[in-house]
Structure 1
Amino acid sequence: MDLSQIKMVVTDMDGTLLNSNHQVSDKFYQLYEELKKRDIKFVAASGRQYHSIIDKLAPIKNEIIVISENGGFAMQHGKEILVTPLPNKTKNEIISLLNGVKNIHLVLCGKNCAYISKESSLFEQKLKEYYSNYELLDNLSAYDGEIVKIAIYHFESSEKYIYPKVFHLEDELQVKISGANWVDISSKNANKGYALEKVMKENNIKPHELLVFGDYNNDLEMLALADYSIAMENAHPNVLKLANYSTSNNDNYGVERILEKLIASK
Structure 2
Amino acid sequence: MVKLIVTDLDGSLLNDKKELPADFWKIEKVLRERDVVFCIASGRPHHNLVNLFKPISAHTYFLSDNGSYVTYGEEALLVKTLDSQIVKTLTIASRGLTDVYPVLCGMDKAYMENHNDALLSQALQYYQSYQIVEDLTKVAEPILKVSLCDLQNAETNSYPHFRKYEKDYKVAVAGERWLDFTAFDANKGAAVQLLQQRLGVGYAETMVLGDYLNDLEMMGVAKYSFAMKNAHPGIIAAASFITEADNNYNGVLRAVDSLLQLKHNFS
Q: Is the 8 A contact 2:227 2:241 kept in 1?
A: yes
Q: Secondary structure at the match of 1:29?
A: helix
> Residue 126 of structure 2 is aligned with which of 126, 130, 141?
130
d(CA) in 1 for partners of 2:259, 2:25: 15
Alignment of 1:26-41 (within 5 A): 26-41=22-37
Could you say which residue in structure 1 is the equivalent of 2:84?
88
1:108–1:147 CA contact under 8 A, matched in 2: yes
Q: Is the CA contact (8 Å cut-off) linking 1:11 and 1:214 kept in structure 2?
A: yes
1:215-230 correspondence to structure 2 within 5 Å? 215-230=211-226
Residues 50, 57 of structure 2: 8 Å contact kept: yes
**Cα distance in structure 2, aligned partners of 1:95 and 1:36:** 42
Which residue identity is paired with 2:62?
A: V
Q: Show the counterpart of 1:147.
A: 143
Residue 234 of structure 1, aligned match among 230, 251, 254: 230
- State the alpha-carbon separation in 1 of the partners of residues 56 and 259 from structure 2: 20
Q: In structure 1, the residue corresponding to 2:107 is in which secondary structure?
A: coil
Q: C-alpha deviations, 1:86-134, integer Å up to 9, x for none?
A: 0101111111222221111110001111100144344123211111211
CA offsets 1:221-247 (integer angstroms, 9 cap, x no match):
111100000010000001001100111
Whether the aligned pair in 2 keeps the contact of 1:212 and 1:226 (CA below 8 Å) is yes
Is the 2:99–2:152 Cα contact (8 Å) retained in structure 1? Answer: no
Cα displacement string for residues 178-211 of structure 1 (whole angstroms, at most 9, x for unaligned residues): 1011000111011111111111111111001100
Q: How many residues align?
A: 262
Identical columns (%):
31
In 2, Cα distance between equivalents of 1:99 and 1:252: 39
Cα distance in structure 2, aligned partners of 1:265 and 1:92? 49
Residue 33 of structure 2 aligns with an amino acid whose one-letter code is K
Q: Give 5+ residue unaligned stretches, structure 1.
A: none
Q: How far apart, in 1, do the equivalents of 2:135 and 2:81 lie?
A: 20
SS in 1 for 2:247: coil
Is 2:3 the counterpart of 1:12? Answer: no
C-alpha deviation, 1:259, in angstroms: 1.7
Distance 1:101 1:156, change over 3 A: closer
Matching residue's letter, 1:225:
V
Tell me the equivalent position of 1:175: 171
CA–CA separation in structure 2 for the residues paired with 1:77 and 1:40: 17
> What SS does the corresponding residue of 2:23 show, helix, strand or coil?
helix
Equivalent pair of 2:211/2:232 in contact (CA under 8 Å):
yes
Q: 1:137 to 1:178 in 2, by over 3 A?
A: same
Cα deviation digits, residues 110-161 of structure 1 (max 9, x gap): 1111100144344123211111211110000111210011000112211111
SS of the aligned residue for 1:240 comes to helix
Contact 1:23 1:56 in 2 (8 A): no
Q: What is the RMSD of the two structures over their aligned residues, measured on CA atoms?
A: 1.3
Q: Deviations over 1:38-67 (max 9, x none)?
A: 000011000001111122222222221000
Matches within 5 A, 1:198-209: 198-209=194-205
SS of the aligned residue for 1:66 comes to strand
Aligned to 2:254: 257
TM-score, normalised to structure 1, is 0.95
Q: CA deviation at 1:173?
A: 0.6
Q: Is the 8 A contact 1:207 1:226 kept in 2?
A: yes
SS in 1 for 2:86: helix
In 1: Cα distance, 2:104 partner to 2:210 partner: 24
Q: Is the 8 A contact 1:173 1:187 kept in 2?
A: yes
Determine the structure 2 residue equivalent to 1:189: 185
